Amino acid sequence: MTRSSKLRLGLFVQETGHHIAGWRHPHAHADAALDFDRYVDLAREAERGLFDLLFIQDSSAMRGANDLDALHRTARAVTWEPLTTLAALSQVTSRIGLIGTATTTYNEPYQVARQFASLDRISRGRSGWNLVTSNNEAEAANFSRETHLAHADRYARAEEFVDVVKGLWDSWADDSFVLDKAGGRYFDPGGLQFLAHRGEHFQVRGPLTVARPPQGHPLLVQAGSSPTGRAFGAAHADIIFTAQSSLADARAFVADLRERAFAAGRVHAPLVMPGIMPVVGRTDEEAREKFAQLQNLVDIDLALATLATTLGEFDLRAYPLDGPLPELPPANGPQSRRALLVDMAKRENLTIRELALRVTGARGHLVVVGTAVEIADVMEHWFDEHAADGFNVMPTHFPDGLRDFVDEVVPELQRRGRYGTQYAEGTLRERLGLSRPHRQARAQGERDE
């Protein structure tokens, strides 16, 4: 796969927007997690902007539920279940890719394989699975578990999980369904194979009760940036979502990921799409005023609670706000994001207050405040420096944050020849230049246990 000369763009949808106080903006759709029509509007707006994909994250537990005083001042308590939402959005869009999150820690492979195969057929080849191992320790309590699995154990389970899912997606040959009315044959049994998997974590006989997906396999997307997460993503993912706040770190991440991918025997490395939170203004001053308006809506206690969650539920309120970040104890929650914020605080000599206010916006992702030209400059530079193949766009609030980007930044990228002017034909894989996985056939004797 030759590297494209054009940037790839994804819309990262999160409730009312990515800034923690975005829902309070006078123009914000504060009811986005309650009124599905708001998501329909967002998807159509992203498709107007020719975005390659729309991404919905998920957690199977409320984040920050132990601090209701902070939580009740955010729009983070409720959200749409991704697979249901994306299936519905597939009927009001026609081109944009649809990426949903499902955890390997609190799901079963057969269920996930069936859901994404169904979504791929419903959307005519536009689905993708954002594979996570769950960094929210509170999820354990919703699945009859006393404690959350350790980080290494979560990834060991995930390795077997994804192998089972891929095997289930290969249950049927592409031409299995002959639909021979005259001969009375609905499918050719020679095209069906049973998985008969027996492993450390799962025993799955198969076959999958959904025909092979149009893409062969829905896209595999992964966002872990810890050493274990990088190794996993390099071995399995088609796209990597990552949080990077500096060009140097982003370049190093991409280089490391590609080295790991080739070492794992892959011919092509995954596409890397860092998050970017753009604040677009007609002038620098207008952009800075827009960002300041949002920052001024943040309560410092809410900012500290948000930081605590991102650091693995470590409460910083006992420490001086205008002092440095203390040494943190080990945590079983988010590893790479926690490390990113700790490094950021040390590198930029940030106080706890400054770091907390930084987190309320993009949670460690790249923030660019400026004109469309300036934002396009940064995106183009990162692309040219092999720090990104594209970006996961994180609007501060909806709908204005997305509309500003589509109206101002997209045309600027198009003028530079860095972004497409129309959708290409084909499945999501084909439009992204990714190959369709070959079906891994099992020996005939393995079809029966």
Cβ proximity of 400 and 28 under 8 Å: yes
Is 322 domain-assigned?
A: no
Residue 446 has pLDDT above 50, yes or no: no
Is 299 domain-assigned?
A: no
Is 334 domain-assigned?
A: no
- CA dihedral (103, 109, 114, 116) positive or negative: positive
Average pLDDT, rounded, for the chain: 92
Q: What is the total count of domains within the chain? A: 1
Residue 65 structural domain: 8-282+365-446
Integer angstrom CA distances of residue 52 from 9, 91, 330, 377, 428:
5, 17, 38, 20, 8
- CA dihedral (8, 14, 20, 26) positive or negative: positive
246 φ, ψ to 5°?
-135, 150
Is 331 domain-assigned?
A: no
Tokens in use for 266? Answer: 């892959």
- Residue 70's pLDDT band, with cuts at 50, 70 and 90, is confident
Q: How far apart are CA 65 and CA 136, in angstroms?
A: 11
Is 113 domain-assigned?
A: yes
Is 307 domain-assigned?
A: no
Q: How far apart are CA 100 and CA 120, in angstroms?
A: 11
pLDDT of residue 57: 94
* pLDDT tens, residue by residue, 156-203: 999 999 999 999 999 999 999 999 999 999 999 999 999 999 999 999
Q: What is the CATH number of the domain that holds 104?
A: 3.20.20.30
Q: How far apart are CA 272 and CA 234, in angstroms?
A: 10
Is 328 domain-assigned?
A: no
Half-sphere exposure of 66 (CA within 13 A, CB side): 10
pLDDT of residue 333: 62
Tokens in use for 397? Answer: 């609030």
Q: Does pTM surpass 0.85?
A: yes
Is 1 domain-assigned?
A: no
How many helices and strands (H and E) does the chain possess?
15, 11
* pLDDT tens, residue by residue, 391-438: 999 999 999 999 999 999 999 999 999 999 999 999 999 999 999 999
